[in-house]
Structure 1
Amino acid sequence: MTSSFKVKSSRNWGTKNDFSIYDFADAKTTNKVARLPKCNKLLVDGANENELDPLEDDAGQSLTRASPSDGTSDETTEIGNIPYADYVIDIWYLISEHVRPEDVCRFALICRKTYTVVQSAKFWQHIYQKHYDSSVELPRRLQPDCMSLLRGLRACTIRSLFYTYPPFVHRISTAALTNPHRITGRQLLFSWYCKNKTGWNYCFKLKARLIPGSRAARSSKMQQLKQSLDYLQDSYMNFEEGCQILIITTDSLHTLPQYHEQLYVGSLTQTLDQGMRNYKVRLQMVNYCRRVVDELVFVPVRQLRVLDWWVPEYGRVDPTIEQQAVVDIVGDSMNDTVWDDL
């Protein structure tokens, strides 16, 4: 009587035996055919356009292999016996003039020189001028005469694109209603309420913690310290970085408590009430120890929205935006810091 059994293959498919792109594109022979493991696939794509900055380019800081930033001519260099072309940064500036706004992140991830181009004021000024539409009414800070200021140029350009760039304008209608639970863990800055035509709007301004060492975190620290005049030339300045506004529209009037400590959003749940006819929203507030401090219940709820800082309605809802914009325009105009003079 014979028995059959399976012999486990001793071939190791560890990391050291993984295939790279050079086994295919630059292979000297044509018999190297294999399937790449899924863990080796690099998917350079926006994860969620509603949760991330639409033009986020801080990922360029994670580049580990890139061409040297110096050099005045094109040359072929080798890293680990792998040849690549090192182009001068002027060529990347010319290419950047044809980059679409939704492809800024992909362009910044090419190499360190493209990441440097994306950080420049010239790059953001060109995007603004390319997509500016005089027939569209823009806020005072986004007008052409105010866009010559360096301070906050990137954030203002992104905001203007949601007024003038059609793909971004069409994205607004669905972005405000997508995944309201993404506000969990954000810090509560302040809250207010206002009357609308049929009910009441309860607004909560929230802010996410900036990643330490990121470009946005360094810019925020520079604006707070103001140790030199460099903060006036910081095109990445954005006081609203990581901020969102939660808007709960209801028919009944509620009293918003005044908190005297730093609170965070512990959870947000949206269910049906006991009559199964209206929505009920439960907002739980916690302190830094994750201890529940308060719980707000709104019923009946007609609409639940989350506005990111680049959405046009965000500036109209937040009462502090226009005041801050006037202060920035007056202050920067007195220092006369424009990007053409650099």
Structure 2
Amino acid sequence: MKKAVANAVQQEVKSFCGLEASRVPTEEVLSVSGESCDSSDEMDAKESTNERTASRKKKSKRHKENPDEAVGEDYPIDIWLLLAAYIRPEDTVKFSLICKKAWTVTCTAAFWTRLYRRHYTLDAYLPLRLRPESMERLHCLRACVIRSLYHMYEPFVSRVSRNPAIPETTPSTLKNSKCLLFWCRKIEGNRREPLWEFNFKFKKQPPRLKSNCCKDLQPPVQYEDVHTNPDQDCCLLQITTLNFIFLPVVMGMIFTLFTINVSTDMRHHRVRLVFQDSPVWNGKKPRLDQGVQIVLDPVHSVRLLDWWHPQYPVSLKA
């Protein structure tokens, strides 16, 4: 069609300009015609792009004017409750981050009860509080289900079984934690001489937030009893030594320094703990002359147990 138009234009030019116009190659006319068509296509494309950009700007402007306007599909909570029956325990957090209704489902007692029943086995050895007859209580239900999964669910069981006697790196999660309790006990075993186990129960302090930062997301009021956990953010530091060592009272103090080194006999380890009256922030080094320093040597094992660990002593309030 372009060639026919070009030929018609060429014939018309010849009639006006005489024979010299016949020397103009047809290809040039075609190229000029093509350029004009291409330029018109480019103009159309630019206009289309400008229209799309303007449309996006209008949508963005409407979203800014109405930030609470719903975007996407809004499914009923029954759908999310149905989907929750198919997720793995380790994917609970990912599922709760999909939307607000998915998060609300993970707050319900039905979600945690179904999760417990789905992974419960008759041959599982569980403490009395984690057995089926005790799981009918809503108080601390979420915490009890999580603890029970570390007894029954194989991926979680393998996690806690891989902990070595001495950690490869010094744990740093205890810094600025508050010491709530301290006790020691004598361990009688197959060894000729008994071991001594020193236990420090810590509660991790929340990080300092700026004034404009949001607080932690709280569950709905009707599910507060389900999410109650007296041991939330707590952990237990167990240090086993070959000899009994007298230690000063450090309950109520802040744990600021933790080091694990090789003992002087090159056969065991040496642990140093430093406690102070106030936390140490912004990467500052604690002043040893202002705190209480504890040195345990020789050390047989060092273990850090989170509140969900099977060997963590469960609170009587749970």
Q: TM-score, normalised by structure 1?
A: 0.62
Matches within 5 A, 1:42-81: 79=71
1:245 aligns with 2:236: yes
Query: Alpha-carbon deviation of 1:135?
Result: 1.1
- Identical-pair percentage: 35
- 1:267 maps to what in 2? 257
- 2:174 maps to what in 1? 183
SS of the residue corresponding to residue 304 of structure 2 reads: strand
Letter of the aligned partner of 1:269 in structure 2? Answer: T
Letter of the aligned partner of 1:267 in structure 2? Answer: L
- 1:324 maps to what in 2? 317
For the residues of structure 2 that align with 1:78 and 1:194, how far apart are their CA atoms? 59
User: How large is the RMSD of aligned CA atoms in angstroms?
Assistant: 2.8
Distance change >3 Å, CA 90–CA 287, structure 1 → 2: same
Residue of structure 2 aligned with 1:112, choices 87, 100, 103: 100
For the residues of structure 2 that align with 1:210 and 1:149, how far apart are their CA atoms? 29
For the residues of structure 1 that align with 2:102 and 2:139, how far apart are their CA atoms? 21
For the 8 Å contact 2:109–2:223, the answer to whether it is kept is: no
Letter of the aligned partner of 2:317 in structure 1? Answer: Q
1:241-290 deviations in Å (ceiling 9; x for gaps): 0111101111011112224x731111100112333332110001111165
For the residues of structure 1 that align with 2:291 and 2:120, how far apart are their CA atoms? 47
- 2:273 maps to what in 1? 283
Equivalent pairs, count: 232
Distance change >3 Å, CA 174–CA 183, structure 1 → 2: farther
For the residues of structure 2 that align with 1:116 and 1:231, how far apart are their CA atoms? 11
For the residues of structure 1 that align with 2:98 and 2:234, how far apart are their CA atoms? 29
Distance change >3 Å, CA 178–CA 125, structure 1 → 2: farther
For the residues of structure 1 that align with 2:160 and 2:230, how far apart are their CA atoms? 21
Q: After the TM superposition, which of the residue ranges 248-257 and 150-159 deviates more from structure 2?
A: 248-257
Residue of structure 2 aligned with 1:234, choices 203, 225, 230: 225
For the residues of structure 1 that align with 2:139 and 2:256, how far apart are their CA atoms? 34
Task: From the CA coordinates, give the structure whose radius of gyration is larger.
Answer: 2
SS of the residue corresponding to residue 97 of structure 1 reads: helix
Q: TM-score, normalised by structure 2?
A: 0.66
For the residues of structure 2 that align with 1:278 and 1:149, how far apart are their CA atoms? 46
SS of the residue corresponding to residue 90 of structure 1 reads: helix
For the residues of structure 1 that align with 2:225 and 2:86, how far apart are their CA atoms? 24
For the residues of structure 2 that align with 1:208 and 1:165, how far apart are their CA atoms? 27
For the 8 Å contact 2:231–2:307, the answer to whether it is kept is: yes
SS of the residue corresponding to residue 83 of structure 2 reads: helix
Letter of the aligned partner of 1:253 in structure 2? Answer: F
Query: Alpha-carbon deviation of 1:136?
Result: 1.1
1:288-318 deviations in Å (ceiling 9; x for gaps): 1656420000111111110001011112xxx
Residue of structure 1 aligned with 2:199, choices 175, 199, 203: 203
Distance change >3 Å, CA 142–CA 267, structure 1 → 2: same
Return 5+ residue gaps in structure 2 as ranges. Answer: 1-48, 50-67, 208-213, 281-286
The structure with more helix, counted as a fraction of residues: 2
For the residues of structure 2 that align with 1:274 and 1:152, how far apart are their CA atoms? 46
For the residues of structure 1 that align with 2:258 and 2:83, how far apart are their CA atoms? 44
Distance change >3 Å, CA 202–CA 314, structure 1 → 2: same
For the residues of structure 2 that align with 1:231 and 1:300, how far apart are their CA atoms? 51
Letter of the aligned partner of 1:113 in structure 2? Answer: K
1:200-259 deviations in Å (ceiling 9; x for gaps): 1111000112478325xx68xx9xxxxxxx799610000000111101111011112224
For the 8 Å contact 2:254–2:279, the answer to whether it is kept is: no
SS of the residue corresponding to residue 204 of structure 1 reads: strand
SS of the residue corresponding to residue 311 of structure 2 reads: helix
Distance change >3 Å, CA 100–CA 289, structure 1 → 2: closer
1:59-95 deviations in Å (ceiling 9; x for gaps): xxxxxxxxx9xxxxxxxx963xxxx222111111100
